[in-house]
Structure 1
């Protein structure tokens, strides 16, 4: 068991938030609440339920603290900063920094805002570097839920990978493949970012190859600024993914036809990497260190000053434009429902 002697426990009285009423995000791994701390100011807290009798609760708490001890080792520019933990009645929470730039989904879905290709390359590179830190931190540690909502952005559009390790924490609290949240029951992964081999065995342990597949779907979204799949039934989509279907790349060809030579080269290299990462055979997907190194080599060829100017322009435009979600995006990004799980079992 990991030592928790260096973990900071926060006093619940120092928070102005309630884990049952301040929910800003909900999923199979638990809820995220936002609030204010007397010293840290704005914070986000990932809340995990604690159930069972007194002894069961004690065991769960120790497991959660052991996992948090591993997560707290992740000190990196592209990882969400974790401050410590807090305990409510029948709930424990990870206290993290709250970022004003929002998440990647929100950023990409602002259609009026133009995103230059060097900036897209930096975003993808920093996502890979964040995942690399996680994969290299502790043996067998994976993210387990790589999706745009878990990629946070600072005001100057640097990436902060968040919500990693939730699979292990969810297991520690007794959540099964159908997770328990404050408002509903959802599966512990998001369908459209889930690797085919995981869909074949929904109770299998998260693997690094699953993260690589999910990363490919993020690259697709950064390239196209579109949802990976249309709003079709869960059963149809599950079958399609298991049988090798991938997001439509015709739209990417259309985008590349409008680019200059320099930007087209970036898009093509990202596209080739993307397709390697979503290979049907998990063993053929590249390791995250190779991905991060290749992307950093590409990024090093770009002008840092130009990217900085792009981020300034983006920040100005983002403050001027309201967020807008496309209809299919909301549907396609919903976590898999209990009905979908039953359908999946029938299909398999």
Structure 2
């Protein structure tokens, strides 16, 4: 299996996991064994039921991640942009609906960054310790001298 198809399989699997988290149900539970699931998915194009009450754009995104043709699935970087857009849209709709009181003016939703900045990424979450620090050289280096 080539690397490109592995990436596309990861996108499919992530779509399955997202839907599993939303439905709180294991997918394909009614099938007996992984071969039966593989046949249902690959040959018949079966997919698990989507979670109820999802925003339409989220449904479309999950279905896109499950596309039968792997070339139609988004890349990981495209997926980040799509999910970021969905999160911002959902946050804005919640702000807009909560601020709609009689006599109040609705303020525009701010376009705040949701992804971490480079400063956030540059610092480790926890300082290195004796148990988490990496060795100065590969561990297998001394074993190769045997």
When normalised by structure 2's length, the TM-score is: 0.52
Larger Rg: 2
| Aligned-pair CA distance for 1:205 | 4.3
Deviations 1:11-44 (A, max 9, x none): xxxxxxxxxxxxxxxxxxxxxxxxxxxxxxxxxx
How many pairs are equivalent?
88
CA distance in 1, matches of 2:37, 2:88: 38
What root-mean-square deviation, in Å, do the aligned CA atoms of Structure 1 and Structure 2 show? 2.2
- 1:289 alignment partner, SS class: helix
Higher strand share: 1
Deviations 1:216-263 (A, max 9, x none): 1012112211111114222322211121111123xx3xx32xxxxxxx
- 1:274 alignment partner, SS class: helix
- 1:220 alignment partner, SS class: helix
Residue equivalent to 2:84: 296
Residue equivalent to 2:29: 230
Residue equivalent to 1:246: 47
CA distance in 2, matches of 1:225, 1:218: 10
Structure 2 residues without counterparts, runs of 5 or longer? 96-146
Residue equivalent to 2:20: 221
Residue equivalent to 1:172: none
Determine if contact 2:8/2:73 at 8 Å carries over to the other structure: yes
Structure 1 stretches of 4+ moved >2 Å: none
CA distance in 2, matches of 1:224, 1:285: 22
CA distance in 1, matches of 2:84, 2:39: 35
Higher helix share: 2
CA distance in 2, matches of 1:276, 1:209: 11
Determine if contact 1:219/1:270 at 8 Å carries over to the other structure: no
Establish whether residue 212 from structure 1 lines up as the match of residue 11 from structure 2: yes
CA distance in 2, matches of 1:246, 1:299: 24
Structure 1 residues without counterparts, runs of 5 or longer? 1-203, 257-263, 307-348
Residue equivalent to 1:148: none
